[in-house]
């Protein structure tokens, strides 16, 4: 945007006001309105009077500067202002009561009604057994939060006093001293209410909530022109209706992996802000790189509320010490809301270290101080981290294929996206702690993931979530909060959405981790595929609504607010092809364009030919049950069977329990133990084996499809399985259980997302092995292939193929042999009696994890015997070493330490050697005796 311009450029953001002359030409930055800004070369010192005086003298403009500043001071815009602003949080204990006053208690803010009732002992754990149904009354009632507070300052000394809510859930009337100061109807918006005329020395505040269920139903009833489906979730989800009519966490009305808990509460900070002159509301940083100038720039946007009746003139100094960059600017803000946009050109002599995704480099950030001197006594200092990275979504023709590519280039490097999909970590957001976020996100990186998709049916996550992702290098595909539904487009709804989107983009766009904005989850597919059986003659209105909401509103706001990262209207989408077709493609699942979602619970998941050879797999998955130790906390002894009322109640996906057994039964014998509890535990274990093996097969297919085009399909550049985390203790597609415990799938992900990986598969009786590399340089490798008989710990034959060259960032075939030839070469092997393992080795520490290929279903395996498994545990500092020993080849060895929080460095593995060392990383201090007592060892033959 500013290529080739000298540092002395000027940015104008509308509004009246003078601009100080500068050395060199001025340049106007386009904007919709806001403050004008004069830009001058860097001052030698951040202290504004002496530095600016010397600068004025040096530039021959001393007199004009003096006259302008004198004129501003004369108008009284800058002088005599007390320091500020004054901020007073209203966090803490409030009174909480239901509609008829029969329930009154203390409740914490931030918080919600459910957790307040739980803390006071008035209800059990909402997740216990059937309490999601038993406590439905809580969400149907109308609750009020109230408290008194003393004004922490002399109100008369401030020009403006605001009541600010960072998050209200959801529909509420706000009163101070019995005067209504505002209303809320959007969980995702920030609300600021002017209370200057009503605040007193001692004040009474009320937040009167209306049931989200009642509000959504009323909004649906009042939308008389035409229906906006779906009306209600499927009965198996046991949820509430009309969630698409309220701007609230969509899955709080239920989903196929979560309960219905439509909360009410003040879920984020609430505070009083008092200020004179002006107040900083938003502060954002956006990096850009100008190739022609070979220079990084930083666009700094600041949004102010100016309460002065006259324009406010001031100085802004930006200082990034480690980049030897310091620049100072003059500003003039008109009364009202003003926007300042500064362009900081980074010193060319400084070496800028870019931010990289995990596995591709460091996540370097630079400390930056921005000082706003808005008058002699009014100073605002903003301390922030500046990150530098570029992101491109590349959609361009591919030789040998119709359609377009769909991949991300970070800092000019094509990156294969490896990760999963994020859902809310709890039904009650005040229970999502910093520790919980750190634990789950660290587990993401520990499994070799570099990306997460924040799914559009949950919430825009808290600031700390994105801060941690910045620090860990986790790229974020950020959906806007619309999912699996059509939505109204009346004026009030659109105004609420516009405020929501504007706020969230301003709040989040400084984060380098966010690489994409996406308008919704699956709504293009819902319209194109007519999920809701709308008569063809009536479809035109829904086409129009779709374009109105996601294109004419959300997209326009995103493009105006953030030009630094791409926007797509939906997921899945055909990207540019969808745009070409009027934003709604006839087939959003076309593998030649965009991204795809794919689920198939009936075909054999080991059969790679059922999977779409897509450009980008953004959703795919299989269910499993969480471990018994996780379920035990929310269940009773009569619940501990696969067919219990509890097990059926907890399953929110139609026929989900049967589908798991069907898929498992294709390759494994189902548990038949006569002890019901043992059979339940065995079934849980087997569903986790099945899930891990299925998603391994599918993910490895996507990874090996990276570099090839077959029949016009391929160049797959992303795999985000569904889903990463759980919202409660239930069967789901997650690889992390509620609380963070790793399922077998998550341990498998650590391997199938490894930066260097051999992938084996069969095609027409031929065994193929591909080498997959996310490394930045070519490497010379040795492929080692072993064939084991199930009945023997010694390999019957070993092949070492040296001189395997694998190009950086590629997937390529490195081995090929008919299975029958391999078996003949290896003596007495048959498909049923033998298994193939393989791994890659390079120089030094370079190696891949081991991988395997089953030549037959394990239910047909010959020679497998029940091994004697044992473990010896020792402590080494904060870690614990488990030395495992086995008497036979053992598939899917599973170490479980119950409720002890932590993870192993490997688990669920095929053990082909007599001895294996596994390390346990505890998440809390523990005693070795606890580990010994809690440990259980399970393998496939233990469940038969």
Spatial separation of the C-alpha atoms in residues 344 and 11, rounded to whole Å: 11
Spatial separation of the C-alpha atoms in residues 861 and 842, rounded to whole Å: 33
Q: Residues 240, 522, 561, 577: which is the catalytic one?
A: 522
Phi/psi of residue 273, nearest 5 degrees? -125, 125
Angle between helices 463-472 and 434-446 (to 10 degrees): 30
Q: Could you tell me if 160 and 106 are in contact, meaning their C-beta atoms sit under 8 angstroms apart? A: no
Report the first-to-last Cα separation within the chain, whole angstroms. Answer: 66
CA 144 distance to own-chain centroid: 32
Phi/psi of residue 246, nearest 5 degrees? -135, 135
Strands 890-896 and 191-194: unpaired
The HSE-up count of residue 20 (CA atoms within 13 Å, CB side) is: 31
DSSP letter at 547 equals H
The three-state secondary structure class of 146 is strand
**Quick one: CA dihedral 598, 600, 605, 610, positive or negative?**
negative
619 is catalytic: yes
Q: Could you tell me if 184 and 171 are in contact, meaning their C-beta atoms sit under 8 angstroms apart? A: yes
Phi/psi of residue 605, nearest 5 degrees? -70, -15
User: What are 105's two structure tokens?
Assistant: 């208690």
Q: Could you tell me if 631 and 729 are in contact, meaning their C-beta atoms sit under 8 angstroms apart? A: yes
Q: Which residue from 294, 298, 301 is spatially nearest to 327, judged by alpha carbons? A: 298
Spatial separation of the C-alpha atoms in residues 143 and 141, rounded to whole Å: 6
206 is catalytic: no
Neighbour tally for 818: CB within 10 Å:
13
Spatial separation of the C-alpha atoms in residues 874 and 919, rounded to whole Å: 10
User: What are 493's two structure tokens?
Assistant: 């709804």
If phi > 0 it is left, if psi is from -120 to 50 it is alpha, else beta; for residue 431 that is alpha
The reply to whether omega before 572 is within 30° of 0 (cis) is yes
Spatial separation of the C-alpha atoms in residues 938 and 944, rounded to whole Å: 11
Cite the DSSP H helix spans in 591-743.
Answer: 628-632, 645-650, 656-665, 676-704
Identify the helix (H) or strand (E) that includes residue 576.
helix 576-580
Judge residue 812's burial from the number of C-beta atoms within 10 Å of its C-beta, 0-12 exposed, 13-18 middle, 19 or more buried.
middle
Spatial separation of the C-alpha atoms in residues 821 and 801, rounded to whole Å: 17
**What's the order of all strands across the beta sheet hosting 870-876?**
870-876, 879-885, 915-922, 902-904
Q: Which residue from 758, 856, 844 is spatially nearest to 801, judged by alpha carbons? A: 758
Q: How many helices (H) and strands (E) does the chain have?
A: 20, 49
Q: Residues 206, 299, 577, 619: which is the catalytic one?
A: 619
The three-state secondary structure class of 575 is coil
The three-state secondary structure class of 758 is strand
User: What are 259's two structure tokens?
Assistant: 């309960």
DSSP letter at 542 equals H
User: What are 281's two structure tokens?
Assistant: 């509301």
Spatial separation of the C-alpha atoms in residues 572 and 507, rounded to whole Å: 25
**Quick one: CA dihedral 57, 60, 66, 68, positive or negative?**
negative
User: What are 785's two structure tokens?
Assistant: 């292939």
Spatial separation of the C-alpha atoms in residues 422 and 545, rounded to whole Å: 27
CA 125 distance to own-chain centroid: 27
User: What are 150's two structure tokens?
Assistant: 């003393």
Q: Which residues are catalytic?
A: 522, 619
């Amino acid at each position: 945007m500013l290529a080739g311009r000298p540092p002395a450029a000027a940015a104008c953001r509308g509004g009246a006001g003078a601009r100080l002359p500068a050395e060199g030409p001025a340049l106007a930055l386009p904007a919709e309105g806001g403050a004008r800004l004069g830009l001058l070369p860097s001052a030698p010192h951040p202290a504004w009077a002496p530095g600016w005086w010397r600068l004025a003298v040096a530039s021959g403009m001393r007199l004009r500067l003096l006259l302008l500043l004198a004129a501003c001071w004369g108008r009284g815009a800058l002088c005599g202002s007390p320091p500020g602003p004054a901020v007073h949080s209203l966090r803490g204990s409030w009174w909480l009561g239901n509609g008829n006053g029969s329930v009154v208690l203390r409740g914490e803010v931030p918080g919600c009604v459910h957790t307040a009732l739980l803390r006071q002992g008035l209800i059990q754990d909402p997740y216990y057994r059937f309490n999601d149904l038993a406590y439905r009354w809580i969400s149907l009632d109308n609750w009020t939060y109230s408290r008194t507070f003393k004004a922490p300052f002399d109100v008369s000394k401030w020009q403006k006093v605001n009541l600010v809510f960072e998050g209200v859930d959801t529909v509420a009337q706000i009163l101070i001293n019995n005067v209504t100061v505002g209303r809320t109807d959007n969980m995702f918006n920030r609300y600021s209410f002017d209370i200057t005329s009503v605040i007193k020395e001692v004040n009474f505040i009320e937040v009167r909530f209306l049931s989200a269920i009642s509000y959504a139903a009323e909004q649906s009833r009042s939308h008389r022109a035409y229906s906006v489906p779906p009306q209600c979730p499927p009965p198996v989800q046991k949820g509430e209706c009309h969630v698409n009519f309220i701007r609230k966490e969509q899955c709080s009305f239920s989903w196929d992996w979560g309960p219905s808990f439509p909360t009410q509460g003040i879920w984020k900070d609430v505070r009083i802000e008092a200020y004179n002159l002006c107040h900083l509301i938003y502060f954002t940083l956006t990096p850009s790189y100008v190739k022609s100038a070979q220079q990084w720039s930083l666009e700094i946007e600041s949004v102010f509320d100016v309460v002065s009746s006259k324009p406010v003139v001031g100085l802004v100094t930006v200082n990034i010490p480690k980049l030897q960059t310091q620049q100072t600017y003059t500003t003039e803000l008109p009364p009202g809301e003003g926007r300042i946009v500064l362009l900081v050109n980074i010193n060319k002599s400084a070496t800028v270290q870019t931010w990289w995704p995990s596995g591709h480099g460091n996540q370097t950030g630079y400390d930056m101080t921005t000082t706003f001197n808005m008058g002699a006594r009014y100073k605002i200092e903003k301390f922030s981290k500046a990150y530098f990275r570029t992101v491109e979504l590349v959609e361009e023709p591919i030789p040998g294929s119709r359609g377009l590519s769909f991949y991300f280039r970070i800092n000019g490097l094509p990156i294969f996206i490896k990760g999963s999909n994020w859902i809310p970590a709890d039904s009650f957001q005040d229970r999502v702690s910093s520790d919980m976020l750190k634990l789950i996100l660290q587990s993401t990186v520990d499994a070799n993931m570099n990306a997460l998709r924040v799914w559009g049916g949950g919430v825009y996550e808290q600031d700390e979530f994105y801060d941690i992702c910045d620090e860990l290098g986790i790229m974020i595909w950020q959906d806007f909060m619309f999912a699996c539904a059509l939505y109204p487009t009346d004026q009030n709804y659109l105004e609420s959405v516009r405020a929501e989107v504007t706020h969230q983009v301003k709040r989040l766009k400084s984060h380098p981790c966010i690489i994409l904005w996406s308008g919704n989850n699956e709504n293009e597919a819902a319209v194109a595929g007519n999920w809701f059986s709308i008569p063809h003659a009536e479809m035109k209105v829904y086409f129009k609504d779709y374009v109105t909401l996601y294109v004419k509103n959300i997209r326009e706001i995103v493009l105006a607010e953030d030009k630094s990262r791409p926007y797509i209207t939906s997921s899945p989408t055909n990207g540019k092809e969808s745009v070409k077709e009027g934003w709604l493609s006839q087939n959003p699942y076309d593998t030649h364009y965009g991204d795809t979602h794919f689920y198939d619970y009936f075909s054999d998941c080991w059969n790679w030919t059922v999977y779409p050879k897509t450009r980008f797999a953004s959703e795919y998955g299989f269910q499993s049950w969480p471990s018994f130790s996780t379920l035990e906390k929310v269940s009773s002894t009569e619940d501990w069977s696969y067919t219990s009322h509890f097990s059926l109640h907890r399953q929110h996906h139609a026929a989900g329990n049967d589908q798991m057994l069907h898929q498992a039964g294709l390759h494994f014998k189902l548990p038949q133990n006569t002890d019901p509890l043992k059979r339940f535990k065995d079934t849980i274990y087997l569903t986790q084996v099945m899930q891990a093996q299925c998603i391994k097969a599918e993910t490895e297919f996507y990874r090996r499809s990276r570099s090839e085009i077959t029949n016009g399909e391929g160049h797959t550049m992303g795999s985000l399985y569904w889903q990463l985390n759980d919202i409660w203790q239930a069967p789901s597609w997650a690889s992390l259980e509620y609380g963070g415990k790793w399922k077998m799938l998550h341990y498998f992900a650590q391997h199938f997302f490894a930066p260097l990986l051999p992938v084996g598969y069969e095609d027409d009786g031929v065994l193929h092995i591909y080498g997959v590399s996310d490394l930045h340089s070519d490497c010379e490798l040795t492929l080692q292939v072993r064939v084991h008989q199930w009945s023997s710990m010694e390999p019957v034959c070993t092949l070492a193929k040296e001189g395997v060259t694998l190009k950086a960032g590629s997937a390529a075939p490195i081995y090929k042999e008919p299975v029958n030839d391999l078996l003949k070469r290896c003596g007495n092997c048959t498909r049923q009696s033998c298994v193939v393992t393989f791994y890659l080795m390079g120089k030094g520490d370079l190696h891949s994890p081991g991988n395997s290929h089953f030549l037959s279903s394990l239910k047909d395996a010959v020679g497998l015997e029940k091994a004697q498994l044992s473990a010896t545990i020792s402590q080494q500092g904060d870690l614990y070493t488990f030395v495992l020993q086995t008497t036979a080849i053992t598939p899917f060895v599973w170490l479980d330490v119950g409720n002890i929080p932590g993870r192993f460095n490997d688990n669920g593995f095929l053990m082909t050697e007599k001895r294996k060392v596994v390390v346990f990383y505890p998440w809390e201090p523990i005693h070795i005796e606890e580990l010994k007592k809690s440990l259980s060892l399970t393998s496939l033959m233990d469940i038969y």
